[in-house]
Structure 1
Amino acid sequence: MDLFGKALMDYYTDQSQGLLRSRSSLNTLEEVPASYFFRDFESMPALEQEALRQCRGSVLDIGCGVGSHCLYLQKTGRDCTGMDSSSEAIEIALKRGVESASCSDILKYQSRKYDTLLLMMNGIGIAGTLKGLPVFLGHLKTLLKPGGQILMDSSDLIYMFDADEDGGVWVPGDVAYYGEVSYQWEYDGQIGPTFPWLFLDFNTLKNEVAMLGFEVEMIMKGPHFDYLARLTPLSM
């Protein structure tokens, strides 16, 4: 049940203002207007704009949605391919003018190699859990050309948990890491399946990717516990 794709298609075809809602295991319910995924460069957060400026060579936009990043990169002369698991999102991306786009599970994607892999809107979350990170990044490494880079953003969710008087933070005991969250999309009276999503604080990212053979560089900090980072394989 692709409620995400359905909401995007409804908006694209008739400008429906129906809201997507994301319900999380952190007991949050967030409203996400479908129009947000159609934003242009000027409407993107500064961190996202900087990521697009940092792209070089050929680019694979993983989780491209309706292709907003690809459209900007095409205008700046980049060779950009969009990839998303939502067939409706990819259909819209192509209709909007994205020149190359593929509907695929990233772990099954092996079409070609790229200079830049782009993981925006916390795209590293596709790994699902810390345990899933080695397989995810191991596969991404196979998609990089020599000298290639992964650009990703994420957030430290520690701010969402209560602190005690001594400065300690109470985090859930039923997950291996507090950044492991599960979500469900809600749209048009329907509730989609639960899926896992991973948020990484920068220190955990640095420690984890070092063990997986990557260098990591903090490019930019955002205004609310978020950041943009570059991952570079140590050897290829």
Structure 2
Amino acid sequence: MNKDIFGEAIKDFYNKKHQEDIVVQAPDFDDDIIPVSYLFRNYSEMPKIEQKALELAFGEVLDVGCGAGSHSLFLSEEKKLKVHAIDISEGAIEICKKRGIINANVQDIFDLKKTQYDTLLFLMNGSGIIGKLGSIDRFFLHIKNLLKPNGQILIDSSDISYLFAEDDGSFWVDASAAYYGEMQYKLKYKNLESDWFDWLYVDYNTLQNAANANGFICELLLEGENNDFLAKLTMASDIL
């Protein structure tokens, strides 16, 4: 994204300057919105999938795509864990630091090296950063290097096959087309507009198969009310 949409919105909300929503556009769907206040929610306001992930987090934690830092704040203040919060948004990281997250950096996960963690957190449709299904092996190969022995990856996603359901309840997608969970989005906020970017929603079976192929054990921990789920990934070599 060529403009820091989330960063500008997060800064405005934190500084009480603006109350406009972030608009999310997709080529074949109606516009959706993200209320900026949602990025500042506390633990009691989070969905059960996020609460479960935070409960299970242990050791040194990497919070990927931390946004305004709500997850990192809970882990550091309530669970007293050592947390490293990263996001590609400069504005988001600026506000994370103002909210008290000491170890917060502008960082692309794929550029992060030579550091390992006990828990990697990918929340709020965390699989999205993979972009396309064809990039999932690259994702697993990279995060494998970021995980300490006996560490875990907690990631959530959604099975969006329901978007392609027929009136009779049957499911249809073009088998010759790209994987149905590959989406493209554009963000708008005030007079700012991002470029189109790729975002991946992956169903659990596809995630599990890809994880197994790359040496991970994948466990389904919790299913939400909107076809979403939380999964835990651990290295198969850790149990040998």
TM-score over 0.5 (shorter chain):
yes
What amino acid does structure 1 have at the position aligned with 2:217? E
Would you say 1:91 and 2:121 are equivalent positions? Answer: no
Q: How far 1:173 moved relative to its partner?
A: 6.3
Partner Cα distance (2:225, 2:157) in 1 = 12
- Contact 1:220–1:227 (8 Å) recurs in 2: yes
Q: Tell me how large the CA RMSD over aligned residues is.
A: 1.5
What CA deviation, in whole Å up to 9, does each residue of 1:39-84 have, x standing for no partner? 1111111111010001011100000011111100012111111000
Q: Which runs of 4+ in 1 moved over 4 A?
A: 172-175
**Deviation of the 1:204 alpha carbon:** 1.0
Residues 26 and 181, structure 1, Cα contact 8 Å, conserved in 2: no
The structure 2 residue matched to 1:186, chosen from 175, 185, 188, is 188
**Cα displacement (A) at 1:25:** 3.2
Paired residues of 2:23 and 2:31 also in contact (CA < 8 A): yes
One-letter code of the match for 1:81? H
How far apart, in 2, do the equivalents of 1:198 and 1:212 lie?
18
2:4 — aligned with what?
2
Greater shift, 183-192 or 194-203, is seen at 183-192
1:148 and 2:139 are equivalent in the alignment = no
| Pairing 1:105–2:108 present | yes
Matched length: 235
Indicate the residue corresponding to 1:65 in structure 2. 67
SS of alignment partner, residue 25 of structure 2? strand
Give 5+ residue unaligned stretches, structure 2: none
> 1:27-176 counterparts in 2 under 5 A?
27-75=29-77, 76-163=79-166, 165=168, 168-171=170-173, 175-176=177-178
8 Å Cα contact 1:149-1:232 kept in structure 2: yes
3-state SS of the aligned residue for 2:237? Answer: coil
The amino acid of 1:212's aligned partner reads N
Aligned residue type for 1:11: F
The alpha carbon displacement at 1:191 in A equals 2.1
Native 8 Å contact 1:24 1:184 kept in 2 = yes
Q: Which moved more, 1:182-191 or 1:60-69?
A: 182-191
Provide, for residues 21-51 of structure 1, a one-character-per-residue CA deviation record: whole Å limited to 9, x for no partner. Answer: 1112341311111111011111111111010
Which amino acid is the alignment partner of residue 128 of structure 1?
G
Distance 1:26 1:126 in 2: 20
Query: Structure 1 residue 168: deviation in Å?
Result: 3.7
* C-alpha separation in 1, matches of 2:152 and 2:28: 32
Question: What's the CA shift for 1:164?
Answer: 5.8
> Which one is further off, 14-23 or 222-231?
14-23
* Contact 2:6–2:67, Cα closer than 8 Å, also in 1: no
Deviations 1:186-214 (A, max 9, x none): 11133210110000111111111111111
Aligned amino acid, residue 195 of structure 1:
F
Q: Secondary structure at the match of 2:185?
A: strand
Q: Which amino acid aligns with 2:16?
A: D
TM-score (norm 1): 0.95
